[in-house]
């Protein structure tokens, strides 16, 4: 016998409500019936199954890196760093035979003062000590840079004369023989001219003046060397120009008699005998005991 119409209607309503509930669930979270147990285990494992060993290793590594980072408390005070740098510059005896100085370590120590205490009084001292360390280690280009920085950054400091003298000495120690380029000689001369002009009464200026005589003598000898080169090749005019420069630019250095006599030779060979004789007489009258005077007398006698 078929069920009554009322029961059929009630059954249809229950089925419709179930279908509506499943549709809403699919709309919100997808079809839950398709999530297999293996899928659920995978998702749970991805959250709870992270490798514990790797996590511990990362924590230990991060802690170690944090411990290695320097802190402000680890930087020594400026005065201690400066004293430490001075002690390194004193060096230590090796087998009782010679004194070894670790200049790079001293430079690094003084540099830490400049880096960490840039506005302290020790910054000025450290800058100069770095230059001195390079100078003592015969690294003159590096020393030049630091001495020049000191002069530029602290133009009114009491040690500026010392730095200028050292600049001249750096150039002086790189001078080549008189038959080579004299750029370093000229640069040393320029540094000394600045020292003498700005600080005429400084103790360093006295030493600078003595060095200036030697530098000017080297420049004069270089000029005579070039003049002799032209003289030997009978380029009389070119030689004469350089002998005159020696007399005009570098007088009183003990080279006047030589330059005058050889200038006379140039005049004589350019058929300017009267000028040549006057030059010979100047040599004889003013530098009578010089080798050039003996040769000048012979030239005068030959002309008579």
Residue 226 lies in a domain: no
Instruction: Give tens-digit pLDDT for 48-104.
Output: 444 566 555 555 455 555 445 544 558 899 999 999 999 999 988 777 677 899 999
Burial call 191-212: b when 16+ CB within 10 Å, e when fewer: bbebbbeebeebebbebbeebb
* Residue that finishes a domain, picked among 137, 161, 189: 137
pLDDT at 99: 84
pLDDT at 18: 47
Residue 248 lies in a domain: no
Residue 280 lies in a domain: yes
Cβ count within 10 A of residue 245: 17
Q: Report residue 304's pLDDT band, with 50, 70 and 90 as the boundaries.
A: confident
In percent, the amount of the chain with pLDDT more than 70 equals: 76
Q: Report residue 23's pLDDT band, with 50, 70 and 90 as the boundaries.
A: very low
pLDDT at 73: 53
Residue 285 lies in a domain: yes
Q: How many domains does the chain have?
A: 2
Average pLDDT along the chain: 83
Residue 216 lies in a domain: no
* Residue that finishes a domain, picked among 94, 113, 137: 137
Instruction: Give tens-digit pLDDT for 286-301.
Output: 999 999 999 999 999 9
Secondary structure (DSSP) of 4-35: PHHHHHHHHHHHHHHHHHHHHHHHHH--GGG-
Listed in sequence order, the residues at least 6 apart from 160 whose beta carbon sits closer than 8 Å to its beta carbon are: 150, 151, 154, 198, 199
pLDDT at 6: 43
pLDDT at 55: 52
Residue 185 lies in a domain: no
pLDDT at 96: 67
Residue 287 lies in a domain: yes
pLDDT at 37: 38
Residue 103 is part of which domain span?
72-137
pLDDT at 51: 59
Q: Could you tell me which residue, 10 or 36, shows the higher pLDDT?
A: 10
Instruction: Give tens-digit pLDDT for 137-158.
Output: 999 999 999 999 999 999 999 9
Residue 90 lies in a domain: yes
* Residue 276: closest CA among 260, 294, 293: 260
Mean pLDDT of 23-38: 42
Instruction: Give tens-digit pLDDT for 211-267.
Output: 999 999 999 999 999 999 999 999 999 999 999 999 999 999 999 999 999 999 999
* Residue that finishes a domain, picked among 137, 159, 174: 137
């Amino acid at each position: 016998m078929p069920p009554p119409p009322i029961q059929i209607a009630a059954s249809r309503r229950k089925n419709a409500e179930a279908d509506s509930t499943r549709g809403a669930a699919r709309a919100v979270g997808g079809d839950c019936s398709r999530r297999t147990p293996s899928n659920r285990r995978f998702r749970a494992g991805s959250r709870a199954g992270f490798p514990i060993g790797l996590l511990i290793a990362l924590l230990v590594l991060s802690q170690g890196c944090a411990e290695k980072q320097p802190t402000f408390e680890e930087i020594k005070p400026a005065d201690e760093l400066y004293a430490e740098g001075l002690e390194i510059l004193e060096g230590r005896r090796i087998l009782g035979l010679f004194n070894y100085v670790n200049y790079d370590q001293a430079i690094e120590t003084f540099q830490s003062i400049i880096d960490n205490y840039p506005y302290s009084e020790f910054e000025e001292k450290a800058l100069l000590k770095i230059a001195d360390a390079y100078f003592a280690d015969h690294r003159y280009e590096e020393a030049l840079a630091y001495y020049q920085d000191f002069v530029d950054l602290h133009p009114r400091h009491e040690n500026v004369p010392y730095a200028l003298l050292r600049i001249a000495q750096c150039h002086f120690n790189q001078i080549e023989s008189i038959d080579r380029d004299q750029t370093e000689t000229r640069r040393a001369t320029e540094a000394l001219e600045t020292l003498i002009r700005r600080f005429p009464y400084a103790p360093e200026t006295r030493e600078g003046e003595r060095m200036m005589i030697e530098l000017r003598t080297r420049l004069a000898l270089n000029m005579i060397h070039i003049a002799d080169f032209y003289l030997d090749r009978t380029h009389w005019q070119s030689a004469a120009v350089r002998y005159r420069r020696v007399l005009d630019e570098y007088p009183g250095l003990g080279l006047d008699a030589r330059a005058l006599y050889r200038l006379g030779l140039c005049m004589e060979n350019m058929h300017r005998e009267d000028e040549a004789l006057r030059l010979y007489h100047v040599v004889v009258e003013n530098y009578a005991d010089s080798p050039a005077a003996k040769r000048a007398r012979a030239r005068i006698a030959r002309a008579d």
